[in-house]
Amino acid sequence: MHAYWRAANYLSVGQIYLLGNPLLREPLKFAHIKPRLLGHWGTTPGLNFIYVHANRVIKQRKSPMIYITGPGHGGPGLVANTYLEGSYEEFYPHIDRTTAGMQRLFKQFSFPRGIPSHVAPETPGSMHEGGELGYSLSHAFGAAFDNPDQTVIAVVGDGEAETGPLAASWHSNKYLHPVNDGFVLPILHLNGYKIANPTLLSRISHEEISKMFEGFGYKPHFVELKTETFNEKDESFTEIHQKMASTMDLCMAELDAIRAKAQAEMDAGQPITRPRYPMIVMRTPKGWTGPKEIKGKKVEDYWRSHQVPFSDIDEENVHNLENWMKSYRPEELFNTDGSFKPELAELAPEGALRMGSNPVVHGQESKDLRMPDFRKYAVTFDKPGTVNVEATRVMGKFLRDVMDENEEQKNFRIFGPDETASNRWNDVFDVSGKTWFADYLEADKTNDFLAQDGRVMEILSEHTCQGWLEAYNLTGRHGFFSCYEAFIHVIDSMFNQHAKWLKTTRTINWRKPLPSLNYLLTSHVWRQDHNGFSHQDPGFLDHVINKRAEVIRVYLPADANTLLSVTDHVLRSRHYVNVVVAGKQPALQYLTMDQAITHCTKGLGIWDWASNDQDGEPDVVMACAGEVPTMEALAATDLLRQHFPDLKIRFVNVCDLMTLQPEKEHSHGLSDREFDALFTTDKPVMFAFHGYPWLIHRLTYRRNGHSNIHARGYIEEGSTSTPFDMVVVNKLDRFNLAIDVIDRVPVLQKIGAHVRQKLSDKLVEHGQYIAEHGDDMPEVKNWKWPY
Amino acid sequence: MHAYWRAANYLSVGQIYLLGNPLLREPLKFAHIKPRLLGHWGTTPGLNFIYVHANRVIKQRKSPMIYITGPGHGGPGLVANTYLEGSYEEFYPHIDRTTAGMQRLFKQFSFPRGIPSHVAPETPGSMHEGGELGYSLSHAFGAAFDNPDQTVIAVVGDGEAETGPLAASWHSNKYLHPVNDGFVLPILHLNGYKIANPTLLSRISHEEISKMFEGFGYKPHFVELKTETFNEKDESFTEIHQKMASTMDLCMAELDAIRAKAQAEMDAGQPITRPRYPMIVMRTPKGWTGPKEIKGKKVEDYWRSHQVPFSDIDEENVHNLENWMKSYRPEELFNTDGSFKPELAELAPEGALRMGSNPVVHGQESKDLRMPDFRKYAVTFDKPGTVNVEATRVMGKFLRDVMDENEEQKNFRIFGPDETASNRWNDVFDVSGKTWFADYLEADKTNDFLAQDGRVMEILSEHTCQGWLEAYNLTGRHGFFSCYEAFIHVIDSMFNQHAKWLKTTRTINWRKPLPSLNYLLTSHVWRQDHNGFSHQDPGFLDHVINKRAEVIRVYLPADANTLLSVTDHVLRSRHYVNVVVAGKQPALQYLTMDQAITHCTKGLGIWDWASNDQDGEPDVVMACAGEVPTMEALAATDLLRQHFPDLKIRFVNVCDLMTLQPEKEHSHGLSDREFDALFTTDKPVMFAFHGYPWLIHRLTYRRNGHSNIHARGYIEEGSTSTPFDMVVVNKLDRFNLAIDVIDRVPVLQKIGAHVRQKLSDKLVEHGQYIAEHGDDMPEVKNWKWPY
């Protein structure tokens, strides 16, 4: 095993440094070394060490493992190991285990148009981007949920351990079912340094580390290198190898015992006692087995080994590099044809048990959801715009049955930061509780819906919810994340990383299309009645559409039936990020189920029943997207029709926001011909939008009629107030919209002054009314579509 | 004290429920109750309890305290307490301590155009927005840095404690100087429930909680309510009051002892032993002293008390409310004129010692920075575009001297997640080390720049850095946060909250303008040589400019001298968020110091030396913003001039991005006349932009010449590759830019085909060259401005 590790380290150094002479069969020359030295050595030997030891456990137990590389910088290590075990050449046949293949392996690393320096989608066996730090542990748990056969090794770097998302995710152990879910074995790797600083967790006492993890509910085991005689004789490594091997065996035995005990408790009809899961704290030097010093400066066991330990390639350093690489004794590891010595190669697991070939992490075992017919949850009514319904509550009934139908497949969960009930998905609790392995109290028995086998995941950490769901998706399972709209920005950066993963994996044929990452954003900007300004931010949409169009979808269903249709669509879709914004408060309903399906299929369209331009060109287009703006746009249309019955108004509702973009920028985009047919090229378009109004301009600036579009939306105004006051202060209300139309339709500019004044007076009246009554005027509050 | 607490609770309930009859002198009727019941009761009594006990400590020690309300939902409690102590009426004279004042106090709460339901900028004594959860503790530490006279009480809710940012921030205790900084006393309030779930930390064992915080380096003290006989006799509260009082005294004594010991160690010239700071774990019921049950449903000590405990106001509940409020016995607390009984009022501290009147949290003690003359760091050169310099390294020298000049004032710190050196600010270490109270090793002695009295704050948590800096700003001090551009998205949501705070406080005259929140974003999208796709994201700019124009500034200085000028400007500014994007890699220098000052003052301008349209109208405008785009635009200009020497090219560089917006949208915006004079209304404009190209369209869509603007920028392409390859794959490179010009200038459309082909061939040649050499072509790499 030590030799196997040496081979992985050798190949790691080779990837960072060498262009040619991969086996060092000839003296190392300048020409063999890459012109640009890029990559990260520091974390790599530790990652290789763990990989080799995990291989031993897999062989012994004949049971698969998933390797999550928290220190994603260790790209060369994961590539080296998947190459040694033979996974790599199955995916990349030209990188075979020959001398030429090894040379190509070395050259491609961090080379233009080669492979990235980090653990990446291109790396076999990886399901965790080596980009931003903080998500390895929540990914590990997300992968383990409903995967009882898998053991997930989560290597957490001590740099990463300083981040907030990682710190929060230690508590995931209160959500893992010891029988129905897989095992997670966290390995905190204390290698002591970050880019240019020591790490916090390596500089507190052993007692503090120990207590911290016991406090988090783990049983920490320590594997610490006591000696400083590295890199000299193989014997000096014996102790640490033995310690690691025995500790891993101990952990696996503890995990087995935990499962057996839990199974026994289940069989006895008792609740499962929350286990104290094992974890490993592994303390080994940064840049382990690398050069101790270069030109008098400390490298091994110091931050200088973080990236490329030395990159000024003069004669002395060519010599240093050669000595370093030869210290692994490649001639003992590889045959002259570059192949791996068979007695070493056989230490690796075989077939799908190789961590680089685990089908679960390549999405290869993903099953579609069984879907109930969403039509049966349809809201019915006699006339549009007259019945109030909580749209997300209707969605919750649908999700309840999705949950139910997939109970057997165990491939659907919903996630949220303490908001499932607040967001009106409560009906889901009829079929599944909220996962909870922390303590229970008497009061829970009444109606807290806590359950050890629940499939609703709630923790007040958007980061942890997102991490769990991403990994659940990445391993082929489905989910929905409901979140307050303003606070979804908490995971902006995680979304970025996931969207990049989706984009990159589209071009990797051995990775299967993943279930889409689905968000419901509710408790949205317009209905923060209990909260106010700090809870108002619709900007996630702006953030999302910066990412590649081929993986992004944004839906703003205006009512419950369109929300149902959108929900069905996104749950069937694959390899997108679907953002659905919908309301949870009682709101008017507009489309029958059939109309909703047609509308959602097109993504946008004229609502005939709300338009009166049937016999020709409109004078104005009233457009809208989102629940509240749709109501205000309709009410404005009503006001205009009352005052100007001959004004021809075309009412357009947009459900799929991406239809507004040009078709060459987004596959959902309308052609210019279609766009012009809807919005005209020369008539004023009032656009009432859910989010920041400039987003509409950003999406439509290339359209012919763009200069006629006038968008209203959230302009960062608002406090704790009434629902209607919120739209008034942002000028998205019916009176302001109607005034905007009067100001823009030529004929109304001439004859509309009187009406305009009346509408302005209404705004004053509104101000007076709420100041006195603390509530909206009945005529506003009780407004219904009257036609 | 118990009576004082009852008064605070009484006023809290009154704010949530009552419109009239504030002292309940007449029987409660429907008409006395608000039509819309909004707010959060659950956390409030606990917050009031702590406030009252903190008052006692302040009186006793005659030493100021800052109260950070992690559970920001407890707005009514903080308003009630600052009202009782008399701070409130000093800021809001109409809310005086009379019956009418109390009625106004009740009415305004969560009332339209009144005050928000959360702890907010409007709340005296608050420096922490009661919006998103997770930042109370990092805010507490940020407020304490360099404020040795202050004791900061950080109330952390058990909901908030589940978030990642909060979890990470416990480690802030390794950064607090026991003598030079203030005290921080965290109080973890375990009230057991969130919106609809139990909290994790209230459902793990006492032993686990204890170990967790010992592991984090604290000495936890427990204040736990053992009895369930609340709300009956005052005597039943005696024990918990006594326990809280004695525990707070103990904590203060421990803090004093810690300071004395540290002072003694300093006096002896020894390093300070890291203290184990005290903290309090306070376990009291959610909705404490509220109704135990309403209509058979459990309320007190349950999640149902989270918001408004009951909001269906029927006769029974009117009666319940009256009973509840009367249980506080208002007649014993308030005189008939509504004034607070003097024997209770005198329990509060006086003057500036009242937590609602602490001048530090209102920014009233903020001093400007002493600024060295930035001109003396100027980079000099003979010709523009010929000398390479690392811009941020030059900035680092300036910051070093800013740090030095303000050493005495102690009001400047810099912050970063392990990136100060990587981002080339190392020179700062000449005058200040990196704060570090964790363990030291032998290796640190050489050059790690760790220091107990350092003013450079590094922790691998963007959240913690941001939280510290926000609070440092909020208490009137200055700072700079340097961050990898892609990962600043980690704090998107924190930025939102801070920008909202800045916007709101602009209109509150007793809050003084705060030092600006300054970001340097470097290691930017175009130079992720060691990393790749996961590290590429310039979207923070898009995110930032969604916020109100009056608090947002974005700068993209193209070289070191412009960066110096911008740095000087932002450090002198107040009440903005300044985002500065600059490069850390060697890059060409363009402007002399005088030119840079002029350029930065205008925000954008024609670079005459790079233009050849001096004698008339240009054929094309080559515009750019950002370090790398500026170089590519110049190189494209060079190519075009080589091939078409008679083509008139105007070269415009944008440093202050907000100049592009219309002047009515941003105070920095150019008038249309100015914009047209620079960009023309009819000539093609090629815009090479640092970020996502559509941002340029979003900013300029109202401009006359908008349809002629063609923007290039980052389009989510890239991997680990060469610097030039990065611009090529995103089509921002010189060859593509020159081709774009040929395709858009009418005369070149006719005569440019041959040159266009040559430029296309260059792109092919580039692809072949990097595939072979792994580096950029010398002609690209060594390009300099030749004129």
Report how far residue A378's alpha carbon sits from residue B449's, in angstroms, rounded to the nearest whole number: 66
Q: Which of B489, B508, B497 is nearest to B473 (CA)?
A: B497
Residues B662/B509, Cβ–Cβ less than 8 Å: no
Decide if B487 and A503 are in contact by the 8 Å CB cutoff: no
Residues B741/B686, Cβ–Cβ less than 8 Å: yes
Q: What is the pLDDT of residue A557?
A: 98
Q: Is B500 on the interface with A (CB under 8 A)?
A: yes
Task: For A630-688, give the DSSP string.
Answer: HHHHHHHHHHHHHH-TT--EEEEEESBGGGGS-TTT-TTPPPHHHHHHHH-SSS-EEEE
Q: Phi-psi category of B774—alpha, beta or left, where left has phi over 0 and alpha has psi -120 to 50?
A: left
B290 Cβ neighbours under 8 A, 6+ residues apart: B13, B41, B45, B231, B299, B300, B305, B309, B324
Mean pLDDT of the A61-71 span:
97
Do A313 and A389 belong together in one domain?
A: no
Tokens at A198, concatenated:
């020591």
Q: Is A325 on the interface with B (CB under 8 A)?
A: no
Give how far A307 is from chain B: nearest CA, Å. Answer: 8
In chain B, which residue's Cα lies nearest the Cα of A173?
B200
Decide if B531 and A114 are in contact by the 8 Å CB cutoff: no
The answer on pLDDT for A234 being more than 80 is no
Using a CB-CB cut-off of 8 Å, the residues of chain B touching A537 are 496, 546
Strand ranges, E, within B166-261: 183-190, 218-224
Report how far residue B563's alpha carbon sits from residue B424's, in angstroms, rounded to the nearest whole number: 14
Do B158 and B259 belong together in one domain?
A: yes
Q: What is the pLDDT of residue B222?
A: 98
What is the percentage of chain B residues whose pLDDT exceeds 70?
Answer: 99
Do B740 and B615 belong together in one domain?
A: yes
Residue A482's SS3 state is strand
Residue A418 domain-assigned (yes or no): yes
From A560, A587, A614, the end of a domain falls on A587
pLDDT one-digit tens code per residue, B69-104? 999 889 999 999 999 999 999 999 999 999 999 999
Cross-strand pairs, B604: B654
A135 Cβ neighbours under 8 A, 6+ residues apart: A128, A165, A166, A169, A463, A467, A470, A494, A497
Using a CB-CB cut-off of 8 Å, the residues of chain A touching B721 are 112-113
Residue B721 to residues A39, A313, A556, B536, B718: CA-CA distances in angstroms?
11, 20, 39, 12, 7
* Top-ranked range on mean pLDDT: pick from B460-464, B532-536, B615-619: B460-464
* Nearest beta carbon to residue A531 from set B117, B421, B436: B117
pLDDT one-digit tens code per residue, B569-580? 999 999 999 999
CATH number at residue A695: 3.40.50.920
CA angle B322, B328, B329 (to 5 degrees): 85
Residues B107/B114, Cβ–Cβ less than 8 Å: yes
Report how far residue A606's alpha carbon sits from residue B518's, in angstroms, rounded to the nearest whole number: 47
Q: Is A704 on the interface with B (CB under 8 A)?
A: no
Q: Is B228 on the interface with A (CB under 8 A)?
A: no
| Cβ neighbour number for residue A425 with a 10 Å cutoff | 26
Mutate to test the interface with B, among A460, A496, A772 (most CBs of B within 10 A): A460
Rounded to 5 degrees, φ, ψ at B605 are: 175, 165
Report how far residue A18's alpha carbon sits from residue A37's, in angstroms, rounded to the nearest whole number: 9
pLDDT one-digit tens code per residue, A530-570? 888 999 999 999 999 999 888 999 999 999 999 999 999 99
In chain B, which residue's Cα lies nearest the Cα of A424?
B196
Using a CB-CB cut-off of 8 Å, the residues of chain A touching B163 are 164, 168, 460-463
Residues A231/A289, Cβ–Cβ less than 8 Å: yes
The answer on pLDDT for B233 being more than 90 is no
CATH number at residue A509: 3.40.50.970
Residue A360 domain-assigned (yes or no): no
| A228 band by pLDDT with thresholds 50, 70 and 90 | low
Gyration radius (Cα) of chain A, Å: 30
B391 Cβ neighbours under 8 A, 6+ residues apart: B557, B559, B560, B563, B582, B583, B584, B587, B627
- Return the percent helix, strand and coil in chain A, to nearest 5: 45, 15, 40
Report how far residue B551's alpha carbon sits from residue B553's, in angstroms, rounded to the nearest whole number: 7
Mean pLDDT of the A454-482 span:
98
* Nearest beta carbon to residue A162 from set B171, B504, B532: B171
Give how far B694 is from chain A: nearest CA, Å. Answer: 7
Residue B119 domain-assigned (yes or no): yes
Decide if B215 and A215 are in contact by the 8 Å CB cutoff: yes
SS3 string, A365-411, reads CCCCCCCCCHHHHCCCCCCCCCCEEEHHHHHHHHHHHHHHHCCCCCC
* Nearest beta carbon to residue B113 from set A436, A444, A771: A771
Report how far residue A173's alpha carbon sits from residue A216's, in angstroms, rounded to the nearest whole number: 8
Mean pLDDT of the B328-336 span:
96
Give how far A160 is from chain B: nearest CA, Å. Answer: 7
pLDDT one-digit tens code per residue, A721-759? 899 999 999 999 999 999 999 999 999 999 999 999 999
A460-472: buried (b, 16+ CB within 10 Å) or exposed (e) per residue? Answer: bbbbbbbbbbbbb
Residue A427 to residues A99, A410, B28, B298, B500: CA-CA distances in angstroms?
61, 19, 37, 21, 36
Residue A598 domain-assigned (yes or no): no
Mean pLDDT of the A208-234 span:
85
Residue B659 domain-assigned (yes or no): yes
Q: Is B273 on the interface with A (CB under 8 A)?
A: no
The answer on pLDDT for A677 being more than 90 is yes
pLDDT one-digit tens code per residue, B119-153? 999 999 999 988 899 999 999 999 999 999 999 99
- What does DSSP assign to residue A441? -
Do B578 and B633 belong together in one domain?
A: no
| A517 band by pLDDT with thresholds 50, 70 and 90 | very high
Q: Is B529 on the interface with A (CB under 8 A)?
A: yes
The chain-wide mean pLDDT, for chain A, equals 95
Q: Is A422 on the interface with B (CB under 8 A)?
A: yes
Task: For B691-748, give the DSSP string.
Answer: S-THHHHHHHTTSTTGGGEEEE---S---S--HHHHHHHTT-SHHHHHHHHHHHSHHH
Mode of pairing for the β-strands spanning B388-390 and B586-588: antiparallel
Do A576 and A609 belong together in one domain?
A: no
CA dihedral B572, B573, B578, B581 (to 10 degrees): -30
Report how far residue A675's alpha carbon sits from residue A670's, in angstroms, rounded to the nearest whole number: 6
Burial, A433: exposed, middle or buried (Cβ in 10 Å; 0-12, 13-18, 19+)? middle
Give how far A465 is from chain B: nearest CA, Å. Answer: 11
The answer on pLDDT for B232 being more than 70 is no
Q: Is A260 on the interface with B (CB under 8 A)?
A: no
Residue A353 domain-assigned (yes or no): no
Q: Which of A561, A418, A399 is nearest to A478 (CA)?
A: A399
Task: Give residue B745's Cα distance to chain centre.
Answer: 45
Do B556 and B631 belong together in one domain?
A: no
Q: Is the dihedral of CA B749, B752, B757, B763 positive or negative?
A: negative
Q: What is the pLDDT of residue A72?
A: 85
Decide if A133 and B460 are in contact by the 8 Å CB cutoff: yes
What is the percentage of chain A residues whose pLDDT exceeds 70?
Answer: 99
Query: What is the domain extent for residue B563?
Result: 374-587
Q: Is B433 on the interface with A (CB under 8 A)?
A: no
Do A264 and A130 belong together in one domain?
A: yes
Report how far residue A18's alpha carbon sits from residue B722's, in angstroms, rounded to the nearest whole number: 17
Q: What is the pLDDT of residue A236?
A: 82
Mean pLDDT of the A159-185 span:
98
Report how far residue B466's alpha carbon sits from residue A718's, in angstroms, rounded to the nearest whole number: 25
Do A250 and A104 belong together in one domain?
A: yes
Report how far residue B527's alpha carbon sits from residue B422's, in angstroms, rounded to the nearest whole number: 13
Decide if B195 and A419 are in contact by the 8 Å CB cutoff: yes
Residues A485/A527, Cβ–Cβ less than 8 Å: no
Residues A389/A631, Cβ–Cβ less than 8 Å: no
**Helices A238-267, A44-61: inter-axial angle, 10-degree rounding:** 50
Residue B599 domain-assigned (yes or no): no
Report how far residue A634's alpha carbon sits from residue B748's, in angstroms, rounded to the nearest whole number: 50
Mean pLDDT of the A2-25 span:
96
Tokens at B677, concatenated:
């004079």
Q: How many CA atoms lie within 13 A of B37 on its CB side?
A: 22
Do B742 and B661 belong together in one domain?
A: yes
Mutate to test the interface with A, among B17, B119, B203 (most CBs of A within 10 A): B203
Report how far residue B190's alpha carbon sits from residue B480's, in angstroms, rounded to the nearest whole number: 35
Residues A363/A512, Cβ–Cβ less than 8 Å: yes
**Helices B391-405, B560-572: inter-axial angle, 10-degree rounding:** 30
In chain A, which residue's Cα lies nearest the Cα of B772?
A112
Report how far residue A234's alpha carbon sits from residue A295's, in angstroms, rounded to the nearest whole number: 25
Give how far B596 is from chain A: nearest CA, Å. Answer: 32
Chain B contacts in chain A segment 645-684 (CB below 8 A): none
Helix (H) or strand (E) holding A462: helix A462-474
Using a CB-CB cut-off of 8 Å, the residues of chain B touching A116 are 531-534, 719-720
Total domains in chain A come to 3
Tokens at A778, concatenated:
């009945």
Decide if A530 and B40 are in contact by the 8 Å CB cutoff: yes
Do B477 and B538 belong together in one domain?
A: yes
Residue A415 domain-assigned (yes or no): yes
Residues A77/A47, Cβ–Cβ less than 8 Å: yes
Decide if A194 and B775 are in contact by the 8 Å CB cutoff: no
ipTM: 0.97
Do B405 and B378 belong together in one domain?
A: yes
Task: For B742-773, give the DSSP string.
Answer: HHHSHHHHHH-HHHHHHHHHHHHHHHHHHHHH
In chain A, which residue's Cα lies nearest the Cα of B492?
A489
pLDDT one-digit tens code per residue, A259-303? 999 999 999 999 999 999 999 999 999 999 999 998 888 888 888
Chain A contacts in chain B segment 357-396 (CB below 8 A): none
Do A97 and A209 belong together in one domain?
A: yes
Decide if B530 and A38 are in contact by the 8 Å CB cutoff: yes
pTM above 0.90, yes or no: yes
Tokens at A760, concatenated:
């302005």
The answer on pLDDT for B246 being more than 60 is yes
The answer on pLDDT for B228 being more than 70 is no
